[in-house]
Amino acid sequence: MNRAAAWAAAAGAAAAFSVWRRRSGRRAHADLYFDDGSMVSLAAGDAEADRMLAIAEDLVAAARGASAARSAGR
Amino acid sequence: MNAGQALADLAAVSSQIDGAVLVRENGTLLASTFSDDGRSQAVAAHARELLQAARRSSAATGRAELSQVLAATPAGAVFLVRDGERAVAAVTGSEPTVGLVFYDLKTCLRLTDPDTSAAREERETAGAGTSERARERHEREADDE
């Protein structure tokens, strides 16, 4: 019984970790890299990041041929 | 190597890249992987806009010169690499191999820079087997990932 409970707990933890990693990997962000090798990562919600992400979304839409309707409103 | 050939090679070796444009910082389109001119111009315009926004943002940090940008959205990611007056922008899916894409874009810029030894070497070999070598190199790098 104890062994089954331990296995269930381990499997649950692994599944939760997998979901967390997948979600954190997909979170919108903007990374800026500099000539000196340094980098700044701005998460969605930051005003500067949101501006860049909005442009990036328009660029992706344009590249895929979708109508970038939001462009007209910006 | 001319810009169009470099972008064609880039698209051939990097399966993660959906499309790319090579532009000047003023937004002038130099080459594109998109067959549709309107789409190429639209992507180039957005790339210029993104570069300007990134430069404004980086200026506030007081750091060195901006060299690369990654904007990752749920719909896809935009990579931008600049070198002097030129920049290459590429669109990928939402979970790209970041280091590999940046490597490919930097190589593309280097090959199209008339002042670099890499570009001179490419011209000297006159493109014979160039695409094949680039593909083999890319496959080796992908295996190392």
pLDDT over 80 (residue A66): no
Is residue A74's pLDDT more than 50? no
Structure-model confidence comparison of residues A67 and A61, the more confident one: A61
pLDDT over 80 at A36, yes or no: yes
A52 backbone dihedrals φ, ψ, rounded to 5°: -70, -40
Q: What pLDDT does residue A68 have?
A: 40
Query: Which of A35, A62, A55, A59 lies closest to B52 in space, CA to CA?
Result: A55
For residues A12 and B102, give the distance between their C-alpha atoms in angstroms, rounded to a whole number: 36
Looking at residue A29, its pLDDT comes to 97
Per-residue pLDDT tens over the stretch A14-35: 776 666 555 555 689 999 999 9
pLDDT of the residue at B129: 52
Q: Which residues of B touch A (CB under 8 A)?
A: 18-19, 34, 36, 39, 42-43, 46-47, 49-50, 53-54, 56-58, 60-61, 63-78, 89, 91, 94-95
Mean pLDDT by 10 residues, chain B (145 residues): 85 92 91 94 96 91 91 97 94 95 94 67 55 60 61
What's the CA gap between B135 and B121, in Å, rounded? 17
SS3 content of chain B, % helix, strand, coil (to 5): 50, 25, 25
Is the per-residue pLDDT at A71 higher than 50?
Answer: no
**Predicted ipTM of the assembly:** 0.79
Compute the mean pLDDT over every residue in chain A, rounded to the nearest whole number.
Answer: 79
